[in-house]
Structure 1
Amino acid sequence: MNLPSVLRDLGVLLLMLAWVVAAHVGSTGWGNADFNAAVAVLPIMAAVLMALWRLPQWVWRVVGVLALATALAWLWPRLRLNVALMYYLQHLGIHVALGVYFGKSLLGPGEPLITRMARRIFSHELSERKLRYTRGVTLAWTLFFFTNALVSTLLFIWAPPAIWSVHANLLTGPLIGLMFVIEHICRLFLLPPHERPGIADVVRAYKRESAQSGRGAGPSRP
């Protein structure tokens, strides 16, 4: 790794940490309400603007931006009083979307998501043991995302905002990391060495799978 890539990765990490802190502070009601609301609404605004940018005619882009600005100005008094709700909806939406993304690959004639990723890593044909394992891992991630979404919802409804924020904003990242560690340990016990991918291989396969899905094309097979 060269210095620019290290600095870029460090910058991304620091930005993620800053976002986690800002989300926790805003969700618990600390700090300036307008600043907290602006930070909370930023990802939603970015997603909407990206969708508007894809419209074929510039006039609809302008209309969309004006409509978005009008809606934001009209809703702002309510948004600044419901910062935690915005973070909850983002947390819920991301987890449900990922749960559906992993889970729908378990249905129908296609292959599970982790199986497709494994095919992008290994040049040889996958064994029956590997096929069962990758299907099980896909199911495990599906259950994780939906379970975390359910826990987040229950805490948001019944627990104080600070308790919900600790789970949603501070613990989600470590929980995902714990899932990777558990999966790695299971891989060591259940798969022989020649069927175990490295972490870098998994990351590259996930990026290729995401890019392939973003283009709307079916996964390639060797």
Structure 2
Amino acid sequence: MTLLRNLGVLLLMAAWVVAAHVGSAGWGNADFNTAVAVLPVIAALFMALWRLPQWAWRVVGALAVLGMLAWFWPKLRHNVPLLYYLQHLGIHVALGVFFGRSLLGPGDALITRMARRIFGHELSDRKVRYTRNVTLAWTVFFFANALVSTLLFIFAPPAIWSVHANLLTGPLLGVMFLVEHLWRLCVLPPHERPGIADIVQAYRRESVQRSARTTPPPTA
């Protein structure tokens, strides 16, 4: 059952990538392309509304989102490539800020915090240095990809930008993970290398704790 669910998720992601590429390049039905473009944004807004403590505000917020979507739909359907660009740019800038801001100030870098959740609070100086450098590397990656996306969107045909944004972003992430893995093998001894499952669990715990800090308590 797990295998089938994972396969279904992969197929759904592949279908979305193809649909996003078609829409970004300006091919196909404008309404369908617009719907695919705004779906992640609408889903994120509804998830944010769901975290509101009162049902009334959730309903009002949902109606406001749907009303604005209907109001701006004619303009949105004529700017489908821009929608995909803003989505791609926003995700990369947000991730760049998410990783990068942890490098500011006296606290631990993001991946250093995750390492502490895996190995406990005691980390060697080598491990702290490595995790901080990896956090910096991911920060540079996200901002660099956002810059390349912007330059291609401005100066290249939409189809070329779409290849980079929709078809190459996933493989580029895979290459980045591979480079990080090889780097880890070179600079860390075996007992200081976390497994993939450990990394995923640490990221989930970090996300849960961050969500708990930002979610307001429910009201009676």
Which TM bucket (shorter chain)?
Answer: over 0.9
The match for 1:60 is 57
The match for 1:206 is 203
- Matched residue pairs, number? 214
Note closer, same or farther for the CA distance 1:103–1:190 as it changes in structure 2 (3 Å cut).
same
**Partner SS for 1:145:** helix
> Could you tell me how far apart the structure 2 residues matched to 1:173 and 1:20 are?
10
Residues 83-94 of structure 1 aligned to structure 2 (within 5 Å)? 83-94=80-91
> Could you tell me how far apart the structure 1 residues matched to 2:173 and 2:41 are?
23
Structure 2 letter corresponding to 1:68: V
**Partner SS for 2:27:** coil
The match for 2:218 is none
160-169 or 53-62: bigger deviation: 53-62
9-18 or 97-106: bigger deviation: 9-18
The match for 2:6 is 9
TM-score w.r.t. length of structure 2: 0.92
**Partner SS for 2:130:** helix
The match for 1:100 is 97
The match for 1:220 is none
Structure 2 regions of 5+ residues with no counterpart?
A: 215-220
TM-score w.r.t. length of structure 1: 0.91
2:144 to 144, 147, 169: 147
2:25 to 23, 28, 41: 28
2:175 to 178, 182, 193: 178
Structure 1 regions of 5+ residues with no counterpart?
A: 218-222
> Could you tell me how far apart the structure 2 residues matched to 1:70 and 1:175 are?
37
> Could you tell me how far apart the structure 1 residues matched to 2:205 and 2:121 are?
18
The match for 2:156 is 159
> Could you tell me how far apart the structure 2 residues matched to 1:207 and 1:115 are?
15
Q: CA RMSD in A?
A: 1.5
> Could you tell me how far apart the structure 2 residues matched to 1:167 and 1:152 are?
7
Structure 2 letter corresponding to 1:52: L
The match for 2:114 is 117
Residue 190 (str. 1) matches residue 200 (str. 2): no
The match for 1:42 is 39
Q: Deviations over 1:4-40 (max 9, x none)?
A: 2111211111111111111001101111111111111
- Percent identity, please: 77
The match for 2:127 is 130
Residue 168 (str. 1) matches residue 203 (str. 2): no
Structure 1 letter corresponding to 2:6: D
**Partner SS for 1:130:** helix
> Could you tell me how far apart the structure 2 residues matched to 1:153 and 1:75 are?
24
1:122 deviates by 1.4
